[in-house]
Chains A and B, each alone.
Chain A
Amino acid sequence: MKTMILLDNLGFSEQNYDIIKDVNEFVVDSIDEISIVVNDVSSKIIEVNTAVNNVAEIGCYQDGLLMCTNLINADHILSVNTSSRKVLYLWDVDWLHNTFNFEWVYDVLTNDKLDIIVRSEEHKRALKMLCGKEPLGVLQNFKLELLWNLLE
């Protein structure tokens, strides 16, 4: 499935390592078009064996899967008018670690155009507590194929 993943950066983090590692393994023998876009291009944790672009690319990304991993980027992908399916793979319960306005968080998470996949039952519970939304599924370790299966 044609997929574009929006990350904050390619710097050192467990999230970046897991996602880039899976993407690198996947693109070795796949013809699916996988690309990564970042808000900050200044750092890189490991080599990325696929296209890496500036975040501006999300504005013209059509007919694919546009995925992000946090609330702020979810708001970004929702703000672009493209035919891509928009997915938040909620890496962490962001609102516990940063001060966000309840209304803003609620409106982003309950947006009909956003599908959500969480990483644990606890995250699922926190999501339901905040806005009552059921995620499409729980996927603890990032794996593109498993994520696509959940979306089907």
Chain B
Amino acid sequence: MKILMLTDESDMFYHILLEALNNIDATVGHSSMDISDSDISQFDPDVIIHNSEKTDVVKYKDAISIGVNEIDSPSCFSYRNESSKNYIEPFIRITDQDLHDVRYKSDIVYVGSPSLLPDCVSEFQSDSSINFKIIHNTNIPITNYCGACQFENYKKFFNMSKCVLVNKPSPEESKLSFKLLDVIYSGGNPVIHDSDDKFVEDIRDALDGKSFRGDFISKAEIKERYTNYDRMSDILLKIGLNKLSKMVLESKGK
């Protein structure tokens, strides 16, 4: 079995999904979309996975083509559009990294765009006795902004904070967002914004030591059902590649 993975635009979630194919007994190739048809023919893949949003971008016809994009097609999958027929549920990357690191310690942490942070948290931002860190990949001159962070290290912030602020998912989004799964998997204490008053109250409770972890799916369940291996297996199963799907699941945790 030969699998060719083509990347059009760099996307962290797409790459995490592809990582699930690294431990199976198959020849795996990676390339950008610039690869020529003759080069693909030389590799002679059985399966091509790509994330290009253009139709017919893969002209090589002797392989099963799977798209992780937003195209409405039986062989294309989406993890952004929940109403898509081939919607991929959120997933996490299994990690055995030590998340305990005092550098990441805080009372409240918010990872994401400050423009999405509800105004009601300003009372915590102005309280100098509370260590409130805002982390985002674009610098924003806002109180408590502490810089950007590598993808894998977000989990350390989640693990080392008394309270992790999570935005309310939009009506189209799954309640189990990528971020929420990451927070729970990291051992963080998620507080979700629903109404302003409840949010402030929940943050205060979390700062006093209340755990909200029990309100959500457990870490064990996430490891069991919400990993990149599970989602890649789902995709392959839906395409009809049952044996490959099983191989991916069996390679989980190897």
A106–B131 alpha-carbon span in the complex (Å): 15
Q: Does A96 contact B (CB under 8 A)?
A: yes
Q: Does A27 contact B (CB under 8 A)?
A: no
Residues of A within 8 A of B147 (CB): 95, 99-102, 104-105, 130
Q: Does B137 contact A (CB under 8 A)?
A: yes
Q: Does A112 contact B (CB under 8 A)?
A: no
Residues of B within 8 A of A143 (CB): none
Residues of A within 8 A of B143 (CB): 126
Residue ranges of A at the interface with B (Cβ–Cβ < 8 Å): 95-107, 110, 125-126, 128-132
How big is the B interface, by class?
Answer: 20 to 34
Kindly provide the distance from the CB of A119 to the nearest chain B CB, expressed in whole angstroms.
16
Q: Which of B61-69, B148-156, B240-248 contacts the other chain?
A: B148-156
Q: Say what secondary structure dominates the interface of chain B.
A: loop
Return 6 A-B CB contacts under 8 Å, by A number.
A100-B139, A101-B149, A105-B147, A107-B103, A129-B133, A132-B131
- Is A97 a contact of B131 with CB atoms below 8 Å? no
Task: Evaluate whether A96 and B149 lie within 8 angstroms (CB atoms) in the complex, with A102-B135, A129-B131, A130-B133 already known.
Answer: no
A7–B240 alpha-carbon span in the complex (Å): 64
Q: Does B144 contact A (CB under 8 A)?
A: yes
Residues of A within 8 A of B133 (CB): 129-130
- Is B146 a contact of A130 with CB atoms below 8 Å? yes
Q: Does B128 contact A (CB under 8 A)?
A: yes
